[in-house]
Amino acid sequence: MSRCATVSRMLDEPVSGTAATATTWLLLEQPGPWGAKALTSSHLDPALGRALEAAAKGTGVRVALIRRPGRHADPGTPAVRQVYVAHTVPGNVWLHSATTRDPRQLLGLDFAALGAGDHRSFGAALGGRPHRGSALALVCTNGKRDRCCALLGRPLAAELAASGVQGTWEVTHLGGHRFSPTVLVLPYGYAYGRAEAHAVKEVLHGAQEGRVVLEGCRGCSAWERPGQAAELAVREAVGEYAADVLSVVRTEGAAPRWDVTVAHTDGRRWRVGVDQGASLPPRPESCGVSVLGSPARMDVVSVREVRRTTALAS
């Protein structure tokens, strides 16, 4: 049977507008094997996993488990775990880190505040501080979720780590199995599909310099899918690569058609028409399903700069 990622690549399915959505990412180190729903099916206490899921619901925070690249036999409970939290909304992008001996400390976080971009509870509960190291490259490797993530993601994570790329972690789930290997880069929150090691290194180099690489980009997690596609289309149209200068300020309409307003920090604005289409012919959306599907795709149909007088009037 063909793997879902192989079919998606053969059909040249577009990756724009397919990133997982989260204003804030909370990452907890958890070595060992992961199940399909890793927060409750790993060696993390499942009661804690359920509590974290409940605390994050509706806040914009997405909780994921991370582990260092390599073999994943049970190493026992780690004495010290790495924790990261990153806010991805332009104008207030940050990445903080901490370590903990007791992951239950994460329940002391103010999830609503984290989702809104306020990191103070991370400092109070965990002693978190701004991350001073390299940007993070999170490679989805959860084979229990989809085998493509293991077959394609693990070799990528291992290659990056072996070549000395700092900040490389395996992560539980980024969505879009059929775009494997998938990578999320923090702090800016841009996701990439069908990633290769040389391309990830370029993306990380760009992130360190505050630039966005557009090739293979699925979108910024801060925005919903129409906004992701719209922002990338504006970047492509005007050649804008600075990471922290474009924001989705308005999304009007509903599926299958949206009118998205994208604003630049310099005052320029664009209105972007985005249509929801169906990817044809039908294809497996995941390796674990036998029924073929036609996954939704975001098609940008227009990009129009709005004159400043018109923008102010609206």
pLDDT in tens, 247-287: 999 999 999 999 999 999 999 999 999 999 887 777 666 66
Number of neighbours of residue 132 by Cβ within 10 angstroms: 7
Residue % of the chain over a pLDDT of 90:
71
Residue 306 reports pLDDT greater than 90 = yes
Indicate the pTM of the whole model.
0.90
Please give the residue that has the higher pLDDT: either 193 or 14.
193
Pairing of strands 217-220, 246-254: unpaired
> Over the stretch 254-265, which tens digit does the pLDDT of each residue have?
999 999 999 999
